[in-house]
Amino acid sequence: MASPLQELADLIRSVPDFPKKGIDFKDITTLLLDGPAFRRVVDHFVERYADKAVDAIVAVEARGFIIGGAVAYKLGVGFVPVRKKGKLPYKTYEVTYDLEYGTETIAIHQDALKAGQNVVVLDDLLATGGTTKAVLDLVDRLGATVLEVAFLIELTFLNGRERLASHPVYSAIKL
């Protein structure tokens, strides 16, 4: 069964050769510009998790913050930012991982989650799964339980879901 958001795929702009040659970047800013579409996205995720025992939404900068922050607000739960190295002001745990076009290091505050808390990891895009796998490593280090890993968009041809097979994965739009 197709997601109720699949038709919103038409609002996502493709930007060839960004951030480097050969990458076809999926730009959600065009979807975000459409107020009713953005509301549908947020409401969709809120409805998905409204009856779950979610304590916090964990999201990755920057686009994950946009959706994750709005969903956390509407659910009335905490929001945990995962940021690039050097951007969080307190003591952090860090993970370095490979991207399709280089390496990156992300960090989470050491006191962002407590052992046993239930979280949803929410991001805008699942590509190869490298970033999300790194986020899951950080969440696991803090002892929280991941109820689901959720994405607005999944690039199915990159098979990132396979890298995350140890957790339930949900994508609202598949490309």
Angle between helices 35-49 and 63-75 (to 10 degrees): 60
| Omega before 144 within 30 of 0, i.e. cis | no
Question: Which of these is catalytic: 7, 47, 100, 162?
Answer: 100
Beta carbons within 8 Å of 157's beta carbon, 6+ residues apart: none
Q: Does residue 100 carry a catalytic annotation? A: yes
Which residues are bridge partners to 148 per DSSP?
A: 120
Strands 118-126, 145-154: pairing is parallel
Q: Does residue 40 carry a catalytic annotation? A: no
> Which residues are tagged catalytic?
63, 100
